Amino acid sequence: MNVIHLSAECYPVAKVGGLGDVVGALPKYLNSLGINACVVLPYYDRKFVRESNFETVYEGCGKLGHQKFDFIILKEITDKLGFPLYLIKIPGLLDRQEVYSYPDETEQFVAFQLAFLEWMVQTNNEPDVIHCHDHHTGLIPFLVSHSSLYNSLKNVPTICTIHNGEYQGWIGWDKVSYLPEIDLSKSGLLDWGGCINSLATAVKCCWRFTTVSPGYLKELSVNSNGLELLFQMEEKKGIGIINGIDTQVWDPKTDERLIKNYDVKSFTAGKKENKKHLCNQFELNADLPLIVFIGRLVGEKGADLLPEIIKQTFKAYQNKVSILILGSGEKIIEKELLSLKAKYKKQFALFIGYDEDLAHRIYAGADFILMPSRVEPCGLNQLYSLRYGTLPIVNNTGGLGDTIIDFEEANGYGILFDHAAVSDAMTAVARAITLYNDEKKLSLIRKKMMNLNFSWDKSAKEYIQLYKSLIKEKHGL
């Protein structure tokens, strides 16, 4: 079975968030289970790309409105990711350093999708399934069904996985001419709220859409940045499949980024050593409980609550707890955190930016990770933390609620709170500090967490079931 994944991100080629982790891991696991899964990505001028070997497998040209563009398809030749990787390079459009945030993002991602389809059609390639990820690839399900240029792909089942419904790929109707030879009577399928909405289009036109946790699927019908009604109408097409983690990359026993490796038998000494090193680096006291936050500093992740949580924590537990934050995002939050760093020099440390190596070392060295997310489609940080014996303190939303059971419940191992609010988070922090002082109990919980299995093996099988059912459906079975 041939499955093509299309995405804007794929670790380690280009990662901004969890999307990159998923697309860098799921296809690998699919291949190990006998599926020919490859990834098609825009070309990025990044370290991984510069240091890898590619061959050109196709050269073509496309049209974005009246503007012609040339593109080439490059294939990584050593198969070092565990799946074939293809990059679409369009000089001037898809050959840049950053993944997002260019003013011509619409042109970039529309051209990406058109080039992909052109390549498929010209090479008579008819995959068994086209698997799109997020809005950047959301027009494909529409184009294969309603543009005469891509008739040869009309019967190919399409899946769209929603990693984040907050961003939807809005495109003004003035740019509809970018979409070639489309059946205009179907243009309603492109529209949501008066503009072309790539994510809404994907949901309407794909054969199935998946969300990265069952909890998030339910949530989209009541909270999805304007698409609630659409998700209510299309509910039957939705399936929630929880993400896994790549246990080859995320394993404290083998992780080369750690100061000391450890496993479920040696975590006490292992985590202690990693914590000591981490605290030294950030000039924190390694004897105190260490609570961390890793991620984008945006409202969606509840990062705007952090300054107040920090203030209240240090007010209540002066010199009894340390906090470390790794991330970047909204400038106003960054600024507030920087000023708190100046105030609480010995207890609070901050790294504005993102550093993958440091993230691994933080998971290993921390005691608790705080995730006060308002929206969390799946969340991977809590899963990495579990594997590294770091206890997640999470708001009960989306995938967080699906993966974390409060330690007071039967078989529990984390700390859950019910609202993304400072007061709820503070109650949770208080419980964490009490737990930290009960070494025996915490140790038992850590052991339980590290024994959990959130590897991709199980979820990859669920995707395979889905692929198989769609292929059957295609053949009218």
Look at residue 326 and give its three-state secondary structure: strand
Nearest residue to ligand GLC, by Cβ distance, number only: 18
Number of residues in contact with ligand GLC under rule CB under 6 A: 14
Q: What's the closest the beta carbon of residue 73 comes to ligand GLC, in angstroms?
A: 26
Which member of 4, 6, 19, 359 binds ligand GLC (CB under 6 A)? 19
Spatial contact of 64 and 117, defined as CB atoms under 8 Å apart: no
* Cα 470 → chain centroid: 25
Binding mask 326-365 for ligand GLC (x = CB under 6 A): ----------------------------------------
Indicate whether 17 belongs to the interface with ligand GLC (CB under 6 A): yes
Report residue 308: phi and psi, to 5°. -70, -40
**Extended strands (E) in 134-289:** 158-162, 170-171, 191-192, 195-197, 208-211, 238-240
Instruction: Provide the greatest CA pair distance for the chain.
Output: 69
294 or 378, CB closer to ligand GLC? Answer: 378
Distance CA 92, CA 271 (A): 47
Helix ranges, 39-89 (H): 47-50
17 or 214, CB closer to ligand GLC? Answer: 17
267 or 454, CB closer to ligand GLC? Answer: 454
Q: How far is CA 96 from CA 135, 334, 366, in A?
A: 20, 26, 35
Binding mask 110-139 for ligand GLC (x = CB under 6 A): ------------------------------
* Cα 227 → chain centroid: 20
Which member of 40, 114, 323, 378 binds ligand GLC (CB under 6 A)? 378
Distance CA 186, CA 106 (A): 21
From the list 12-20, 260-268, 323-331, 364-372, the region that binds ligand GLC by CB under 6 A is 12-20
Which member of 31, 147, 158, 164 binds ligand GLC (CB under 6 A)? 164
From the list 76-84, 269-277, 314-322, 377-385, the region that binds ligand GLC by CB under 6 A is 377-385
Binders of ligand GLC among residues 197 to 216 (CB under 6 A) are: 212
275 or 387, CB closer to ligand GLC? Answer: 387
Which member of 243, 313, 385, 390 binds ligand GLC (CB under 6 A)? 243
Distance CA 369, CA 386 (A): 10
118: Cβ contacts below 8 Å, ≥ 6 apart = 60, 62, 71, 149
Indicate whether 380 belongs to the interface with ligand GLC (CB under 6 A): yes
Tokens describing residue 297: 């500093």
Amino acid identity of 449? M
Which member of 10, 18, 106, 361 binds ligand GLC (CB under 6 A)? 18
Distance CA 376, CA 92 (A): 34
Q: What's the closest the beta carbon of residue 433 comes to ligand GLC, in angstroms?
A: 27
- Using CB under 6 A, list all residues that contact ligand GLC: 17-19, 22, 163-164, 212, 243, 376-380, 399
